[in-house]
Structure 1
């Protein structure tokens, strides 16, 4: 027998361990199943750790840009794409109070209350008043208006209904 002949040697294992009793490979299968289970658990843990790191990175980036870190729960992308997402959705997110400002003070959000000059506001007010002088705002639903118009017996009654619902046409 040569030094490389392992046919009867069983690789130094007993007859039971070498699989000669019909249990060939059961030990190896069991070992592979255990390793596979451990690998799945490690992958799940790794994925959870990566997700947590990404969330922390996004929270840090949001805070650095002046947004509330709680908005990180809304963002599902990678931290390097955060600027694109903020460009599209940043207006809807809560801003952090500037440093040095007390939390009781409210920071105005959005555009200023008005961007129209005082003279233009006065002109707009006159236009609104001129458009509605002597005319009541529409009353009821469209179905009610349609029914009232159908039920009008005279042209004068029809004209009155039309004027009452915003028409400035002379129906007489």
Structure 2
């Protein structure tokens, strides 16, 4: 029969369970991150705790097997290794978090932007507009309450599903001619 001290068994279990779950967390962070949505300084708490647990096991095994200390001293060594592992994980994950790209814009961010009508928009129907956002020109379907011909500059006033709701920036041409008046 295999004879293993209880403290070594605890340290091995901590190493295997902590390391295995840490690997799972790194690989499928989006799934687990939705369940445990808590972070410390922009770093999810789960990798920090799991790195502490796994390094606690490694440190405890190091203490019992290499340094030949047992009990509380081995646990103290494990705790020291665990804290070092936690700090290493914190710095690695915070560096990775800073390296992530910012979230892309959403269509609701376009409200208030100018849009160029590419395909005329019949009243209550859909046409096509071009909107400049984040340094690029994006094409969206758009609707309006009034007819807007192609080539008109409009203003985005809202979002309807994946399309935009726009309105003409300039008053309709018929009203402009009446206001200015002509001497005939």
State the TM-score, normalizing by the size of structure 1.
Answer: 0.31
> Which structure's CA Rg is the greater one?
1
Structure with bigger helix share is 1
Structure with bigger strand share is 2
State the TM-score, normalizing by the size of structure 2.
Answer: 0.30
The structure showing larger relative contact order (alpha-carbon pairs under 8 Å, at least 6 residues apart) is 2
